[in-house]
Every structure is written in structure tokens, then in C-alpha cells.
Amino acid sequence: MRKSLIFLLLILLSCQKDELMVVEPYPQYEMIFEESISKVVDGQEFSFEVSTTEEHTLIISHENNSVITKESFTPTMGLNTRVLYTKSLPKGELNLSLVNVGEEIQKTTIIVE
């Protein structure tokens, strides 16, 4: 009898509706300057933090520091997200740096494949 009650209880429990945990995904930011080197793809978003809202410039250059392309923008305080287009860039390892008022404040290496 006791076994039957336990069995019945197990059946009842097993028939309850599953309680699904819905987890809101955190926004995923590619904090590109936190990596020393990373592969990039066309149209990739990447993020970084800045501490002022002065105009900043992202610069992509060769190893000899000759500039290939750049983009100037006015950031928001804290986290900023930009997009990188690679179709016109040369293949291989390139420098990506973040400059504020002529001073390089972040730098990393990107690999364009």
C-alpha cells in the first residue's frame, strides 16, 4: 500500500507542467580591444568603452603605420558599438587603433581573411 502511494505521487508529479526558465540573453559585445589579436568578418559589430564624449577616430593601418582607412565619430560615454566592413581592406594582419585628440588610447591587431 505504501509503495502504491509513493508510485501514485510520482505519477502526479511527473504530470505537472514543466516550468521553463526564460533567460533574457545578455547583449553580446565584441570588446575588440580586450583581445591582442582577433579575426574579423565583413559587417562585424565590435564594441569598446570611452570615458569622454570628444571626437574619437578609429584607424586601420599597415604594420608600417601607413593608414588604410579611418572613421571619426562622437561617442557616447561608456560602451560604444561600431561596425567594421572588410571588403575593401587588404587581407592579412592589420592594426586597429582608437585615437582621441591625437593620442592612441586603444590598439589591437585584426586579421582580415
Partner 1 sequence: MKNLLYILLLLPTLVFGQSGEGYINYKSYKTHYGNGSSSTYNGVSYGGGADSSAEFDAMVDTNQPGTTLTHSGEVSPYGTTGLYGGAAPRWGGDYYATVYSGWFKPNKSGTYNIKTYADDSSETRYREAGTTTWQYMTYQWGCCSNVFGTATLDNTKWYEFEFRYQEYGGANYYYFGYSLPANSSSPIYNWISSNHQFGTWTNIDPSGTSTEIDPEVDFQFEFQSNIQPEKYRFRVYYDATNEQDGTVWYNTSTTNTSYYLDNDGTKDITDYLNLVKMNDGKKATTAGGSVEWCVVYDYDSTNKRYRVGIDKREFPSGFTFTDLKQLKLFDLWDDEITYMSDDAYWANYYIYTDTQFNFTNSTFSSYIRDANGFYGMKAEFSFEDVEIYKGHKVTFMSPSTNIEGWTSTEFIDDYVTVADVVSAFSELAGGGINGGYKGDLNGVQLQNADVNGDKKFDFQDTFKLLKFLQGEENLTTNNSLSQIMRPVPKSVYDGTTTSNWSTQSNYSPTTNIPFSLVYDSIQQIQYKVGFLGDVNLSHSAAQTNNTTTSARMMSVRNSSTQNTTLLEVNLDIEQTEEHIIVTLDLPENNFNLVGSEFRIGFDNERVEYDKLETSTTMNTFDAKRETYIKIGSISVDGSMNLNGGVQYKIYFKPIQSFDSTLGLVSVKKSEVVDKNANIINVIIK
Chain residues that interact with partner 1, rule: CB under 8 A:
58, 60, 64-73, 82-91
Q: Least distance to partner 1 from the beta carbon of 76, Å?
A: 12
Q: Which is nearer to partner 1, 24 or 113 (CB)?
A: 113
Report the nearest approach of partner 1 to the CB of residue 63 (Å): 12
Contacts of residue 65, defined as CB under 8 A and 6 or more positions apart, other chains included, come to 95
3-state secondary structure 66-97: CEEEEEEECCCCEEEEEEECCCCCCCEEEEEE
**Choice between 41 and 77, CB closer to partner 1:** 41
Minimum CB separation of residue 51 from partner 1 in Å reads: 20
Q: Whose Cβ is closer to partner 1: residue 34's or residue 62's?
A: 62
Element (H, E) at 16: none
3-state secondary structure of 2: helix
